[in-house]
Every structure is written in structure tokens, then in C-alpha cells.
Amino acid sequence: MNLLRLVLLGLAALAGIVAGAALLQKAIRPARLASPLTATASTRDGEPGLSPFQIAAAQHILEEELKTAPEYAVFFERLKSLFPLGYESFLAGFSRRLALGGNMGSVDFLISDAVRSLHLSHGGLAAKAGNLALEHIFELQVSMVGALAAKDPHLCVAYLNGGGSAGLSEFSAQIRGLVAAMGIADLDAIHDGEVQQVERLAPADTDFDALEKALRAKGLDTPEIEALLDGKISNPPVAEAKMCQAGEIYLETLAAMPEPERLRIYGFAVELMSRP
């Protein structure tokens, strides 16, 4: 089976547009720490030593910045509740980078990096979530593509292709409620997978054959289908407005597939998203 058939579902990373924003930020990424940082004045791994005061001052700046986006407060509270060590690690790592002179970037970058870090360490668990938690991730993907389609077909196609653009980064700041909801859906699916441990088979070629047949029945032609399922770009490429509409149809058609096929594809897509 060609893994590129999941190019659209991969959407570059867990939170889609959240990850797209992260790719564009010029801030230094915080290190993903295995445990909360213990502040010390000694040199570590060749980095300058930092005093507890410097770390605390940087963390205060970080926490104040988070307050400027109340839409994200629920996400960070959920992260703190479900994954306290991950939350503390995020704060410690980012605070250290700030204290060393790193650029924090926008508050939208903070949530994107938190989601990305958690997904790289725990994301595979989302594939083992119960049906409702797993499906909710993709329900929100439909909402995101719809919002992008209404905003700008170019941004919509960039999102579907998993690429970043300045427009995507700026747009994420305009729809923070949806971005936060996507991040929360990811957190909930990871936690649910940790508890439920649902084992699903990988999708078979017959699942994708059924999806392709359904897409053709919805009026999509070979260039759009090959772009969505195989990552192939036609010459000339499909017009952006048409490709964006095809992406909406893709996600909606997948959501309407019989449950066994749909969940196999969803689970495998989420597992791929967690890979570096």
C-alpha cells in the first residue's frame, strides 16, 4: 500500500494549521525534555548556566504571554491536567530558551509547539482512542478546511498539502477558538488511547479503492483524486479553488464511509502524524 495515499490526512502534523504556523516561526524551538528542568548555574551541554532567578523571570514572561490569548487557556489547562509532566517540561524548556535569549514568537507558536512536542512523544496513542475521540479529530479537520476555503483557496491548498505559508500563520491567529479545539481534540484522543488501547488493523488497498470509487461518484476527476490519494501533481495543476473544494469533498466522503473502513484509515492516519 502506498503510504502517500494518506498525504491529505497527514496534514503535516497533528493540529494541521497549528503545525503550519510552527514551521514558519523563526523562534528557537524549545528542547523537548524528558522531565522538568532543574535550574542550575553550572554549564550544561555547552550552554551558559542559568540562575533560578533567570529561569523564573523567563517563565513569568511566558505565562503572561499565554494570557494574551484566552482562547488557548482551556487547551493549556487540559494539557496540565492530562499530562502534567509534559506541561511542566514544555514550560521549563521554553523558559530556558527564553532566558538564553531565544525569540518566543507569537502565542500561536506556543500552542503549536506544545501540540507538536506532545504528539511526537505520545501521538501514537491517539490511534488507539475510542471511536468518538478519534473521529472528533477529523470532524474538526472538516471545519478547518471549510474555514480556509471561505478565506482563501490558496491557503486551503497549502493546508491540504501540509505546507506552511505566512498566510496560514496569520490566519491561525484569527481562528484561535478552532485551533484550540483542534489541540484539545488531539489531547483527548491521546489520553483516551492511553486508557482504551483499541487495536485497529491497518487499512487495506480495498479500503482506498472504495474511497476512490466514492470520490468519483461525488464528481471528482482523476487529477484531483491522484493529488489527494497519491500526492501526484497534474500538469497543469488543478486550479486552487477546485482543489480546495476537492479536499472538502474528500474529508466529507471519508466521514460517510462505513465505520470499519473509516476508522481503519483514521487510526492509521493519526499514527503517521505522530512520526517525526
Q: What is the mean pLDDT of each run of 10 residues along the chain (276 residues)?
A: 42 39 31 31 51 84 85 90 88 83 73 78 87 92 88 84 68 88 91 94 88 93 84 83 90 92 88 70
Q: Are 115 and 248 in contact (CB under 8 A)?
A: no
pLDDT at 189: 93
Start-to-end Cα distance in the chain: 20
Amino acid present at 166:
A
Q: Cell numbers for 9, please give them.
A: 490526512
Q: Cell numbers for 167, please give them.
A: 498566510
pLDDT at 36: 32
DSSP per-residue codes, the chain: --GGGGHHHH-SSTTTHHHHHHHH--SPPPP--SS-----SS-BTTBPP--HHHHHHHHHHHHHHHTT-GGGHHHHHHHHHH-HHHHHHHHHHHHHHHHTT-----HHHHHHHHHHHHHHHHGGGGGGS-HHHHHHHHHHHHHHHHHHHHH-HHHHHHHHTT---HHHHHHHHH-HHHHHHHHHHHHHHHHHHHHH----PPPPHHHHHHHHHHHHHTT--HHHHHHHHH----SSPPPHHHHHHHHHHHHHHHHTS-HHHHHHHHHHHHHHHT--
pLDDT at 170: 79
- The CB density around residue 105, as the number of other CB atoms within 10 Å, is 20
pLDDT at 48: 59
State residue 47 phi and psi, 5-degree precision.
-90, 155
Q: Cell numbers for 276, please give them.
A: 517525526
What distance separates the 2 farthest-apart alpha carbons in the chain? Answer: 65
Q: What is the CA angle 247-120-182, rounded to 5? A: 45
> Is the overall model pTM greater than 0.85, yes or no?
no
pLDDT at 122: 80
